[in-house]
Amino acid sequence: MRALVIEDDPQLRAQVSQYLTEEGYAVDSAGDGDEGQFMALEYPIDLAVIDLGLPKTPGIAIIKAVRKAGRKFPILILTARDGWQSKVEGLEAGADDYLVKPFHREELLARARALVRRSGGWSQSLLECGPIVLDTTARNVNLSGKPVELTAYEYRVLEYLVLHAGEVVSKSTLTEHLYNEDEERDSNVIEVFVRRLRTKLDPDSTLNPITTLRGSGYRWDLPRNP
Amino acid sequence: MRSLRARLLLAATLVLLVFMMLTGAGLEQAFRSSAQQGQRDKMQALVYALLGAADAGENDVLTIPANALPDPRLSRVQSGLAALIFDAKGKVIWRSSNFEGQVPDLVAPKVGDTQFTEYDDQFALSYGVSWAADSSAHLFTTPKPRRYTVAVLEDKTPYRSQLGVFRRTLWISLGFAVSALLLLQLLVLRWGLAPLQRLAKELRRIESGEQASIESTYPDELMPLASGLNTMLQGERNQQSRYRNALDDLAHSLKTPLAVLRGLVDDKAADPALRERLRDPVGRIQEITDHQLRKAATAGRRSFAEPVRLRPLVEKISGALAKVYADKQPEFSFDMDDRLRARADEGDLYEMLGNLMDNAGKWCKKRIRVSARYAERKLHLCVEDDGPGFPAEADQLLQRGMRADSLTPGQGIGLGAVAEMVRAYDGSIALGRSELGGGKVDVALSV
């Protein structure tokens, strides 16, 4: 998951970015509205955290521009005063949730998780597909009730595929959404992750949760539990 | 004298009454003197007629032969007209046959002079004359002229009744004229003061929130006042929004570093002892800034606040909350008149309804109901949900000074904020159980 943090205070920006990085997000950050708006429109974002009181382009304007451009990733707004007028304004402009400063780390992460999950069409924090269950809060995976050991990157790939179930996800899309700018990107690594995921989640090759579409990418094909 | 109209009316009435009195008195005086002049002329003519009929009687004394009387009334009993002739000594030497009663005490005028006297019941005109008998009757001697006084007396009754008729006619018509003038005055006043009344009515409508500014056109004299009032209203509202913007800036610049501090407290990599020591002061700073900023931002009850239509506001908030609680997809229902307007600050209404509806969204299963109405000069707002309802000690949430972090996150803070704002509106807030099954918050605001 790739998150964008637009916050003018450098310390808070660093803090929020750190929280999200620790949670397994690839994070881009911007210190003013103009830069933020550019990133929000151009980068492959899965979640944006936007402060409403920004220099240059205000937060509301960024949200409007993003929605006008047809980009649908969830947006969490940060407001300083619990002013409902600005909250309503932000949510009306196209944001999906709000958080009042100051906030707890857990609060921010819970909102972020819920938003990403919701954007994938899931209303529960447990993503259940047959015997495979992802707990997005604890960030662990169970197969038929038994925990599955996954590395952080393996989990990220799995979560991205499950949240985009039924869609064809290319290797480059996966690298774009999972790696930070400064990290070395090698699409071969993705193949390795997917192979390992298949072994760990489907040791008997009976489920076939991930389909490979030659030349275009991967697709999560396990239907979600009703 | 508190009413402008009463003042003007009283002054006009007094002036009119004095004018009527003076006019009446003047006219009456004029009529009286003209009537008396007429009387005098008439009597004078009778004196001349009597003298014309004069004849010498015994000893050449002046007398009027009974058959030569110039006016038949002089011989008719109680005709009201009588004549007397006195000699130089004031002794009556002739009287008309119908004269009865006492001889009046008349001053004898000089020869050729006329004396007109008004008594209680009659007029008297006496005329001094020097008269000699016709010399043709005396062959040898020329009779010496003698001094006489001819007096005519006339009863006052006809004069009085004439005066009475005049007076009655005069005062009745004056009375009518004054009443008509007063009525006219009243109409003129009403017409003239109507713009003032209209202005007052408009101000009342602004105060009651039915309109935002003075809109009608007024006469030139009132236009500066009306536009001045509009400027003032606008200025006050601008002031409020400037103030609020400044507060927003302040909040932003305070809370951002506070969020950093809060993050430090939560930072597991930091020194645990330091984190523990920081936790309490950071919590307190947060609490105090929250409380003070809210207190400063609450506009509270203001006269002439721009009226706010509640329905769109509530719909906006519910639209926003539908996103926040998208997992639940809460169903909002509204029970309020589409045209209902509240004369409260828009920001305050957002804050109160936002917090209450957010709370309901947080705790509801599915349904949220928002109702609003005016009753007994108060705005009643009610937010209900079908959630678990408030815990028994929930009333504590409404108390001032309740520590925000000792409450369930979200719930208490919002309610405490609303309770604080309600106080600024001289209102009341009560928690209860809704017929939907969950909690119910009733708020009454004096706006």
pLDDT of B362: 87
Token digits of residue A168: 């064809």
Choose the most confident range, by mean pLDDT, from A164-173, B285-294, B386-395, B408-417: A164-173
Judge whether A126 is closer than 8 Å to chain B, CB to CB: no
Using an 8 Å CB-CB cutoff, list chain B residues near A114: 327
DSSP string, B147-200: EEEEEEEEESHHHHHHHHHHHHHHHHHHHHHHHHHHHHHHHHHHHHHHHHHHHH
pLDDT of B401: 45
pLDDT of B403: 44
Q: Do B354 and A88 touch (CB under 8 A)?
A: yes
- CA A48/CA A40 separation, integer angstroms: 8
3-state secondary structure of B214: coil
- Helix crossing, A59-68 with A84-93: angle to 10°? 20
- CA B321/CA B110 separation, integer angstroms: 119
Residues B56-109 pLDDT 10s: 877 778 888 888 888 888 888 888 899 999 888 888 888 888 888 788 887 778
Report whether B340 contacts A108 (CB < 8 A).
Answer: no
- CA B400/CA B292 separation, integer angstroms: 12
Judge whether B156 is closer than 8 Å to chain A, CB to CB: no
**Secondary structure in 3-state letters for chain A:** CEEEEECCCHHHHHHHHHHHHHCCCEEEEECCHHHHHHHHHHCCCCEEEEECCCCCCCHHHHHHHHHHCCCCCCEEEEECCCCHHHHHHHHHHCCCEEEECCCCHHHHHHHHHHHHHHHCCCCCCEEEECCEEEECCCCEEEECCEEECCCHHHHHHHHHHHHCCCCCECHHHHHHHHCCCCCCCCHHHHHHHHHHHHHHHCCCCCCCCEEEECCCEEEECCCCCC
Using an 8 Å CB-CB cutoff, list chain A residues near B409: 107
Cis-peptide, bond into residue B391, ω within 30° of zero: no
Position B402 pLDDT exceeds 60 = no
Report whether B87 contacts B61 (CB < 8 A).
Answer: yes
Residues B230-256 pLDDT 10s: 998 888 888 877 887 888 788 878 888
Local confidence pLDDT in tens for the 226 residues of chain A: 899 999 998 999 999 999 999 888 999 999 999 999 999 999 999 999 999 888 888 899 999 999 999 999 999 999 876 678 888 989 999 999 998 888 888 889 999 999 998 888 887 888 888 889 999 888 889 988 889 899 988 998 999 999 998 889 998 888 888 887 777 777 788 888 899 999 988 888 888 888 899 888 999 988 888 7
Supply the mean pLDDT for chain A.
Answer: 89
Looking at per-residue confidence, does B144 or B355 come out higher? B355
- CA A150/CA A79 separation, integer angstroms: 36
Task: Report DSSP state, residue B340.
Answer: -
Position B315 pLDDT exceeds 70 = yes
Supply the mean pLDDT for chain B.
Answer: 85
In this prediction, the answer to ipTM > 0.90 reads: no
pLDDT of B25: 94
Judge whether B254 is closer than 8 Å to chain A, CB to CB: yes
pLDDT of B405: 42
The mean pLDDT value for B176-197 works out to 90
In terms of pTM, does the model score above 0.90? no
pLDDT of B409: 45
Position B301 pLDDT exceeds 80 = no
**Secondary structure in 3-state letters for B90-108:** CCEEEECCCCCCCCCCCCC
Q: Do B256 and A101 touch (CB under 8 A)?
A: yes
Residues B135-182 pLDDT 10s: 666 666 777 788 889 999 999 998 999 999 999 999 999 999 999 998
> How far apart are the CA of B268 and the nearest CA of chain A, in angstroms?
10
